[in-house]
Each structure stands twice: as structure tokens, then as C-alpha cells.
């Protein structure tokens, strides 16, 4: 392989592939045959989203009169190959953003209309300004299993099985079509699997090169709700080709109406009045792919009044005589008391019946809402645990078990004292998922108040609900501002999740931030090339403060995408300050954040005590009743009062208690108040705390001023001039009234303060030849020690006045 020369720049993006939105093939496409219909232009039906947006921006008096001319086929000529004809009703492969899907296969669709837009009066159009006549194709999507949301109720499927979408279509140019393919409802015949290639696959095809010719479809899917329906593709294809759209080219006759109200289930929203209704043909006997462990649940549901799968055939309308046709919307509305004009129904409705899995899911959704099962924490109860996955791997030593559960990295399934916040976050996100829209939830609170842990618990609950079909499926991605090299890297992480790329198996995509941003913008704006996999996506943006840039373009894009129609993006933004939007965000960013804000208050002494005792109770689960108590209750109570008076940080009290248990473990005794006090003293005497206690008054004020600027600006690199300005404001506030008034230091004296802090490596200052040419006030400084430790140490040294300023 030829070695690519390395670019000397520090962050080069050269050599990285760009996102293929819709790579149009260079072809020679021409209409085949005469036009079959022509009508006046209907922009919402006949234009792609990009052209429709440009059309709406034009003043009405400057718009020309256009018409849509429809055809039944077009012919494609390629150099060195025989011509290929694409007709309405052909199933085709289309290259979309799904090029980065897990299976690296093209998306599949059926052509439902083809047309071009031409001017009504050709003489009124200047030839130099006349737009190219694009050959537009409307397709109705099939979906591969890999194009569905990652978190959903799993369904066993065959090797090349695809699902038919109920009502999902898009507009493409003819050049986007790659090839024709065949979709059949015949179950493929299994052949002997080739052990060296795919020993674990259930079905393999004799000729694996003809993948596009062996597609199998007997199920329709509601991708947004994760429900599946029995479906007869050949009969729908025959029925749809024999009818006409209203309006022409809309593709409504290819839509499928799921039959849910017949099963005693809540009906879906009715179609529009002008939508065609088609009888589904009599479907063939359903083929069971694999024995389902939930068949017993489905049988119980049928015994309670629901229809079994075999009984559904008796209710299906037939094509031949129509004697068993379904009631139309007009019949359903006849008793409503309204006298509305009704359009004559020329066709019955395409219907599909839910599969056993989906019938059980619909029954669960239709049932009265039961209280959510979640670990309720009664601190003194010996039967209450925090729901850890497993503690069987832990030794029987009670001290070791206690140290394990008291570690800050040990995350229980449920958080005590955060039940209300959990319910608010869960309710907000689940409502957005059920609506099928997008939205933002802003979660704030000082460090150590359980924000991220609560969101993780919410996501676990949502995953469980989605896998049980209790809520709509979704894809989840977590973006931590402290774990990415730069804020723009968040684009690549989100694009990996949206495109369905499997990072665990294939590693991260080699795609730059600019390409990811372009792909995401096209995806969420509904532009061409989005493909059929437009499912919901839940994004956790942790440490939002670290994603703030000078232009704030990253947070703006993440907050703006959920506001776009059909984006289905849910953003959970977690930050350490409640007023970050008002303090650091511009108006255009703040306006897109929304009104859903949830603030986590610092833990009180009683809550901190409850957290520690609940964890210790979990460590004692499964132990003998006379097991050794490793931490005294009075010691927990004293520690909780000390921590709550300083910061209310749950992580700090867990660290103190775990260290106290570790000290007591050496003598195999219970940790008492003496051990807690000794550990607290050791933590306060850390090298960082000792250094800060030895700092001069102006050095401490400089550090406080820098932390204030970091919180206000939302970035870590602060100009030295801004720190000096804040220093002058704080000197007057932090002076001790019992001490004679201090003289304001001169700029040269403050420069010595800066040199002292830089020499001790507490601060880092911008260096290099370019920085040396800047004025000293324009050079940037960075805090080089842990910010939380500085705040705790300066709060202990300075007292209440310093703690108030540091918390602001």
C-alpha cells in the first residue's frame, strides 16, 4: 500500500473520508414512453425539502407558474452496458446515509411515482435562467433490521429479511437509484451453512453474491413505535399499481393502515380525509420463524378477549368479492352528529394485522398505567437494597463489601433521595419519545448531587421499557465534555449513533467534525439522503460547561436540531451551574434550550446519612443477621453534617466513610467518630490543601478570580487581564474588617503574584513566540490543579464569605 505523506499540521483532517449523503451516479437517464399525467405544481408534494425551502423564500409575485408532468418509466444508459429501465412499482436499492450502517448495505425502497417540474409558459422563462429539469422519484421505504433503533424489542429475522414501512416516503433524483432488486414473500430455503464463513448464522444463501435478488418481506413495521404487522407484499403491490394517487404522485395508495381497533386496542390516528383506503388482500398462512418464549403471554391475552393470530384471517377483507370488507372512516363517523360532505371511496384500505408480539405490546400500552416498579429505599429496612447487579463476586468479609459499595464508582440502580428528580427526568424524556418529536431537558446542580447518576438510571429504565415495548424505541449516546479532545468532536460521536455505526465491533469512524456536522444537519433537517432509519435519538451531554466555545456553535447546533420538525432528537444537557444559560449563553442559544429545567439541590445532612446507610444496608444483604457492623451510626451522622455544611457533595462523604472503614479494617473493628475525624484531617492536609493554606492573600484572591472567570465564560483558558479586573473587584469584598485596610497592589506586584503561581505550577500561562508578542493582559492562563479541591480548601481557609463567592 502506498504510504500517505503525513501533514505537519497538529490537527489535520486530510485523508479522512467524507460522509456520503446521497452520492449520485453519473448516468444518462431519459424518460421512457409518453407522459401519463400532468397537473399544476403542488410544492409540498412535488419538491424536495431543499427546493421547497428555496421556493418558500421567494416572494410570491416573483414565483413562476410550474406544472408536474408524470411518467411511468425512465431508461438509464451506461457506457459499456445495456440500457436499464426503471418503472413505477420496481423495488430498488438507494445509496443514502445508511452507507455507514452496521451492515454497509444500500437501503431498499419501491418506486411509487416519477415526474419532472416544467414551466407552464415556456415563453415567459428566460433560457439562461431556466433550471435544470431534474427527474424526481418518490420512493416508499422498506427497512432493514439494522436500520431500526438500537434499543427496541428484539425480533428474530432471516438473513435477508426486510420490513415494509407503514407510511414513509422520500423524494430523490433519478441518479440516486443504484439498481433494481426483487422482494418476495416466499420463505428462502435454508442451505448448509459454510462453517468457515458464518458458522452461527441460521440461514445462508447458495449464491451469496446475489444479495439484492433474495430479499424477503412478510412483515410491515411502525418504526417509531416498534410494532410489527403481518403483511402481504405481492398483493399490496398488485393493488397499488391498479389505483391512482390523490393528489397524483403523493404515493398514498402505497401506505398501510394497521388494524388495531379490531383487536380491542386503541386505534391509531385516522388518516387524512383525502387519503385512499385499500383492502389488504387475504394473506397467506403465517410462517413461524422461531419458537417465541412469549407465546404463552400471547395465548393468555387471546383467552382474555384478544384475537389470536389465526383468528385474524377471518376478519381480513378479500380482493375478490369484498363481502368481508372493513368499515371505513365514513361509517365510523356516521353517528358523530356532523353532516360533512364525503368523498366517494374508490378503493378499500390497505390493512395489516399486528403480530403476536405487537398485540401483546399494544395490550400492555392500553392497560391502565400501573405504578412503575422501582426500588423504594427505606433506610432502616433490612430487606431494602439499592439494586446492584450482583454482589456474589464479593468476599464475605463485611469490611471489604462495605468498601466496595461506598466507592464513588459503584453505581446502584436506584438513587435514594432523588426519587422526585428521577420521576421528572423520566417523565420529560418519555413524553418526548411518545410524541415522536424532539426536545431539550436542562439539568443543573453543584457537583456531587447525583445528576449524571440519575440520568443513567433514567436511561436504564427507558431501555427496559423500550425492550418491553412499553415506550417507543430509540438510540442512545453519551457525550462527556471532559472525555473528548475538543468540543467539535461531539459531532462525530453523535453521527456514529445516528448512522447506526457499531463502535464496539468496528471502532470509531474516521470522519472529521466538519463532515459529521454536514451529515447531521442534512439528517435532522429532513433533507435528501436521510434514508428510512429516522428513529429517535437520546443524547446525554454531560459536563456541558466544557462544550462551550467562543462562538457557542456546538451547543447551538445541539439545542437547535431538536426544534426542527421530525428530528426526533432528545438532548439531556447536564451542567454544574443553574444559571449557565443566562450567564454564559447568547440569546439565540438560550432561546432554543426550551423551558424544561430540572435543578438538583445540594444534599442535606439527613439525605447524606440516608445515602451512606442505604449503601451499607446493601452490603449486608445476604450476610448473617449477626454480621459485624463496620461503621458507627454516630460517625455517619457527624460526617454528613460536616459535608453538608461545606458542599453537600455525596462523593466526599462516600470517600470519607470508605477510608474510615479501610482504617478500621486493619484491626477488624467498627469505624467510629475518631476514625472519621482522622480521615477528614488527612484529606484536608492533602498537598493541594497544604499549598493553598500557605498561599498569600492576593494569591488566593487570584485563584478565586480565575475560578469566577471560568464559570462566567464557560471555558478554561482566561485572559490575564480579565483575571486582574475580577481581582480588583474581589479584594474589597474579601478584606477582613478586623485587619487594617490592605493597599491595592500595583500591576508589577500582581505580575509577581502571577510568576509565583506559575512557578508552583498552580497556573499555566500561554507561551511560545506568538504569545510573547502579545500584551501581558492578552495572554491566557489556565488553572492546573483540580478546581473542586481549590474551592474546598479556600472555603475551609477563608470561611463563609469565601464559600459564598466560590459557589456563585
More confident site: 133 or 755: 755
The pLDDT of residue 611: 92
Closest CA to 730 of 772, 751, 699, 761: 699
pLDDT of residue 97: 62
Q: Does the pLDDT of residue 561 top 80, yes or no?
A: yes
Q: 74 pLDDT exceeds 90?
A: yes
What span, in angstroms and rounded, lies between the C-alpha atoms of 375 and 370? 15
Split at pLDDT 50, 70, 90, the class of 254 is very high
The pLDDT score that the predictor gives to residue 421 is: 93
Residue 288, pLDDT score: 32
Going by pLDDT thresholds of 50, 70 and 90, the confidence category of residue 176 is: confident
User: Is domain 419-600 given the CATH code 3.40.50.300 in the classification?
Assistant: yes
More confident residue, 724 or 18: 724
What SS3 class is residue 560? helix
**With 50 as the cut, is the pLDDT of residue 565 above it?**
yes
Residue 163, φ and ψ in degrees, nearest 5: -115, 150
pLDDT of residue 317: 32
Q: What is the CB-side half-sphere exposure of residue 499 using CA atoms within 13 A? A: 33
**271's grid cell:** 388518516
- How far is 117 from 41, CA to CA, in rounded Å? 7
Categorise residue 526: left if φ over 0, alpha if ψ from -120 to 50, beta otherwise.
Answer: left
- Judged by average pLDDT, the poorest of 133-147, 163-177, 266-280, 646-660 is 266-280
Residue 258: pLDDT above 80? yes
Side-by-side strand order, sheet with 84-87: 28-31, 73-77, 84-87
- Distance, in Å, from the CA atom of 476 to the CA atom of 537, rounded to the nearest integer, reads 6
Which residue carries 403542488 as its cell?
42
**pLDDT of 440 strictly over 90:** yes
Q: Which of 188-192, 508-512, 514-518 holds the top average pLDDT?
A: 514-518
Instruction: Return the CATH fold of 689-807.
Output: Arc Repressor Mutant, subunit A (1.10.10)
Of 41-55, 372-386, 443-457, give the lowest mean pLDDT range. Answer: 372-386
Which band of pLDDT confidence, cut at 50, 70 and 90, is reported for residue 92?
very high
Residue (of 226, 216, 253) closest to 355 by Cα position: 226
Whether residue 203 has pLDDT greater than 90: no
DSSP helix/strand/coil, 92 = strand
pLDDT tens readout for residues 116-132: 998 877 655 454 444 45
Rounded to 5 degrees, φ, ψ at 70 are -105, 150
Residue 531 has pLDDT above 90, yes or no: no
Res 592 pLDDT > 80: yes
On the question of pLDDT at 357 being above 80, the answer is no
Q: Is the pLDDT of residue 47 over 90?
A: no
**521 or 11: which leads in pLDDT:** 521
One-character DSSP codes across 660-708: HHHHHHTTTS-B-HHHHHHHHHHHHTSHHHHHHHHS-HHHHHHHHHHHH
How does pLDDT run across 2-37, given as a tens digit for each residue?
454 454 443 333 333 334 444 445 568 899 989 999
Please tell me which residue, 133 or 17, carries the higher pLDDT value. 133
Residues 230 and 354: beta-carbon distance below 8 Å = yes
Specify the residue for cell string 433494481.
Answer: 180
Higher pLDDT, 354 or 515: 515
Cell of 712: 462566567
pLDDT at 276 over 70: no
Same fold flag, 419-600 and 603-684: no
Provide the pLDDT for residue 806. Answer: 77
Domain boundaries of the chain, sorted by first residue: 20-217, 246-327+343-366, 419-600, 603-684, 689-807
Q: Is the pLDDT reported for residue 310 higher than 70?
A: no
- Mean pLDDT of the chain, nearest integer: 76
Q: How sure is the predictor about 566, in pLDDT bands with cuts at 50, 70 and 90? A: confident
- Note the pLDDT tens digit of each residue in 144-160: 888 888 888 888 888 88
Predicted confidence (pLDDT) per residue in 651-686, tens digit: 889 999 999 999 999 888 999 999 999 988 887 777
pLDDT at 640 over 60: yes
* Distance separating alpha carbons of residues 786 and 780, to the nearest angstrom: 18
Does residue 596 carry a pLDDT above 50?
yes
Query: What pLDDT sits at residue 331?
Result: 39
Q: Once rounded to an integer, what is the mean pLDDT over residues 450-458?
A: 92
pLDDT band at 537 (very low <50, low <70, confident <90, very high): very high
Determine if residue 592 is left, alpha or beta; phi over 0 gives left, psi from -120 to 50 gives alpha, anything else beta: alpha
Nearest Cα to Cα of residue 458 among 409, 425, 431, 420:
425
User: Strand pairing partners for 171?
Assistant: 138
3-state secondary structure 370-399: CCCCCCCCCCCCCCCCCCCCCCCCCCCCHH
CB atoms < 10 A from the CB of 800, how many?
9
Tens digits of residue pLDDT in 76-86: 987 767 888 99
Q: Does domain 20-217 have CATH number 2.30.30.490?
A: yes
Instruction: Using pLDDT thresholds of 50, 70 and 90, give the confidence band for residue 54.
Output: confident
Give the C-alpha distances (Å, rounded to integers) separating 198 from 14, 159, 160, 201, 203: 36, 11, 14, 6, 9
Residue 277 has pLDDT above 50, yes or no: no
Whether pLDDT at 265 is above 60: no
Q: Is the pLDDT of residue 387 over 60?
A: no
Note the CATH number of domain 603-684: 1.10.8.60
Q: Which pLDDT score, from 0 to 100, does residue 88 have? A: 94
Instruction: Give 314-345 pLDDT, tens digit per residue.
Output: 333 333 333 333 333 333 333 434 344 444 44
CA-angle at 48, arms to 136 and 224, nearest 5°: 110
The closest alpha carbon to 283, from 253, 309, 308, belongs to 309
* pLDDT classification of 363: cutoffs 50, 70, 90: low
Q: Which helix (H) or strand (E) holds 713?
A: helix 697-713
* Tens-place pLDDT, residues 219-246: 999 888 888 998 889 999 999 998 888 8
Please tell me which residue, 90 or 500, carries the higher pLDDT value: 90
- Mean pLDDT confidence for 178-187: 88
Residue 688 has pLDDT above 90, yes or no: no
Specify the range with the lowest mean pLDDT, choosing from 45-49, 452-456, 600-604, 739-743: 739-743
pLDDT at residue 352 in the model:
67
Q: Is the pLDDT of residue 497 over 50?
A: yes
Cell numbers standing for residue 314: 377471518
The four Cα atoms 205, 210, 211, 213 give a dihedral, to 10 degrees, of -100
- Checking if the pLDDT of 177 tops 70, the result is yes
Average pLDDT over residues 606-635: 87
Amino acid at each position: 500500500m502506498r504510504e500517505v505523506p503525513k501533514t505537519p499540521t497538529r490537527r489535520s483532517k486530510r485523508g479522512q473520508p467524507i460522509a456520503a449523503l446521497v452520492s449520485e451516479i453519473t448516468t444518462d437517464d431519459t424518460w421512457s414512453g409518453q407522459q401519463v399525467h400532468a397537473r399544476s405544481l403542488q410544492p409540498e408534494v412535488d419538491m424536495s425539502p431543499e427546493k421547497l425551502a428555496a421556493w418558500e423564500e421567494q416572494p410570491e409575485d416573483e414565483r413562476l407558474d410550474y406544472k408536474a408532468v408524470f411518467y411511468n418509466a425512465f431508461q438509464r444508459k451506461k457506457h459499456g452496458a445495456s440500457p436499464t429501465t426503471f418503472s413505477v412499482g420496481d423495488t430498488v436499492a438507494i445509496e443514502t446515509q445508511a452507507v455507514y450502517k452496521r451492515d454497509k448495505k444500500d437501503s431498499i425502497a419501491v418506486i411509487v411515482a416519477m415526474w419532472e417540474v416544467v414551466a407552464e409558459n415556456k415563453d415567459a422563462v428566460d433560457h439562461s435562467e431556466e433550471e435544470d429539469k431534474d427527474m424526481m422519484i418518490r420512493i416508499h421505504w422498506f427497512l432493514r433490521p439494522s436500520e431500526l433503533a438500537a434499543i427496541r424489542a428484539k425480533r428474530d429475522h432471516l438473513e435477508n429479511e426486510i420490513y415494509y414501512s407503514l407510511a414513509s416516503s422520500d423524494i430523490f433524483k433519478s441518479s440516486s437509484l443504484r439498481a433494481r432488486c426483487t422482494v418476495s414473500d416466499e420463505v428462502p430455503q435454508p442451505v448448509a451453512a459454510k462453517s468457515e464463513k458464518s458458522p452461527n448464522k441460521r440461514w445462508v444463501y447458495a449464491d451469496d453474491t446475489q444479495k439484492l435478488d433474495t430479499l424477503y418481506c412478510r412483515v410491515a413495521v411502525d418504526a417509531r413505535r416498534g410494532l410489527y404487522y403481518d403483511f402481504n407484499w405481492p398483493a399490496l403491490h398488485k393493488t397499488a399499481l391498479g389505483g391512482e394517487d390523490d393528489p397524483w404522485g403523493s404515493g398514498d395508495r402505497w401506505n398501510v393502515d394497521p388494524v388495531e381497533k379490531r383487536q380491542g386496542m386503541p386505534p391509531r390516528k385516522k388518516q387524512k380525509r383525502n387519503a385512499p383506503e385499500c383492502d389488504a388482500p387475504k394473506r397467506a398462512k403465517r410462517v413461524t420463524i422461531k419458537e417465541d418464549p412469549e407465546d404463552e403471554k400471547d395465548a393468555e391475552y387471546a383467552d382474555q378477549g384478544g384475537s389470536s393470530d389465526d383468528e385474524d384471517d377471518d376478519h381480513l377483507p378479500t380482493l375478490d368479492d369484498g363481502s368481508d370488507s372493513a368499515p371505513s372512516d365514513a361509517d365510523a363517523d356516521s353517528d358523530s352528529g356532523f353532516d360533512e360532505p364525503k368523498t366517494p371511496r374508490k378503493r378499500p384500505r390497505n390493512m395489516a394485522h399486528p403480530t403476536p408480539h405487537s398485540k401483546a405490546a399494544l395490550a400492555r400500552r392500553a392497560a391502565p398505567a400501573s405504578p412503575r416498579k422501582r426500588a423504594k429505599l427505606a433506610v432502616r429496612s433490612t430487606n431494602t437494597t439499592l439494586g446492584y447487579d450482583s454482589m456474589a463476586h464479593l468476599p464475605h468479609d463485611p469490611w471489604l463489601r462495605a468498601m466496595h459499595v461506598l466507592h464513588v464508582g459503584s453505581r446502584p440502580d436506584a438513587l435514594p433521595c432523588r426519587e422526585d428528580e428521577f420521576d421528572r427526568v423520566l417523565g420529560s424524556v418519555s413524553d418526548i419519545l411518545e410524541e415522536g418529536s424532539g426536545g431539550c431537558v436542562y439539568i443543573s446542580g453543584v457537583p456531587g448531587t447525583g445528576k449524571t447518576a440519575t440520568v443513567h438510571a433514567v436511561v436504564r429504565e427507558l431501555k427496559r421499557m423500550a425492550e418491553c415495548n412499553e415506550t417507543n424505541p430509540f438510540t442512545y449516546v453519551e457525550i462527556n465534555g471532559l472525555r473528548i479532545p475538543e468540543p467539535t468532536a461531539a459531532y462525530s460521536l453523535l453521527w456514529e449513533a445516528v448512522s447506526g455505526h457499531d463502535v464496539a465491533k468496528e471502532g470509531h469512524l474516521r470522519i472529521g467534525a466538519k463532515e459529521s456536522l454536514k451529515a447531521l444537519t442534512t439528517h435532522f433537517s429532513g433533507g435528501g439522503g436521510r434514508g428510512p432509519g429516522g428513529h429517535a435519538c437520546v443524547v446525554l451531554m454531560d459536563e456541558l460547561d466544557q462544550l462551550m466555545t467562543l462562538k457557542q456553535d456546538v451547543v447551538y447546533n445541539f439545542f437547535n436540531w431538536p426544534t426542527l420538525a421530525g428530528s426526533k432528537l432528545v438532548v439531556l444537557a447536564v451542567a454544574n451551574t443553574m444559571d449557565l444559560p443566562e450567564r454564559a449563553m447568547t440569546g439565540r442559544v438560550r432561546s432554543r434550550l426550551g423551558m424544561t429545567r430540572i435543578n438538583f439541590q445540594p444534599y442535606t445532612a439527613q439525605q447524606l446519612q440516608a445515602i451512606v446507610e442505604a449503601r451499607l444496608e446493601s452490603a449486608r444483604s445476604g450476610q448473617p443477621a449477626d454480621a459485624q457492623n463496620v461503621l458507627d451510626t454516630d460517625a455517619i451522622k457527624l460526617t454528613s453534617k460536616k459535608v453538608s455544611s461545606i458542599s453537600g457533595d455525596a462523593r466526599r462523604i462516600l470517600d470519607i466513610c470508605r477510608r474510615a472503614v479501610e482504617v478500621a479494617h486493619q484491626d477488624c473493628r467498627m469505624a467510629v467518630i475518631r476514625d472519621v475525624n482522622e480521615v477528614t484531617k488527612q484529606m484536608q492536609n492533602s498537598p493541594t490543601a497544604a499549598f493553598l493554606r500557605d498561599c498569600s492573600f492576593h494569591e488566593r484572591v487570584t485563584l478565586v478570580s480565575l475560578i469566577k472567570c471560568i464559570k462566567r465564560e464557560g471555558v478554561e483558558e482566561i485572559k490575564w487581564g480579565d483575571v486582574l479586573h475580577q481581582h480588583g473587584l474581589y479584594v474589597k469584598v474579601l478584606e477582613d474588617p478586623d485587619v487594617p485596610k490592605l493597599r491595592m497592589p500595583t500591576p508589577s506586584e500582581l505580575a509577581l503574584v502571577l510568576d509565583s503561581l506559575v512557578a508552583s505550577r498552580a497556573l499555566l500561562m500561554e507561551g511560545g513566540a506568538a504569545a510573547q508578542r502579545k500584551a501581558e493582559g492578552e495572554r491566557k492562563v489556565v488553572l492546573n490543579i483540580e478546581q473542586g479541591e481549590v474551592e474546598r480548601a479556600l472555603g475551609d481557609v477563608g470561611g463563609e464569605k469565601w464559600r459564598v463567592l466560590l459557589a456563585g
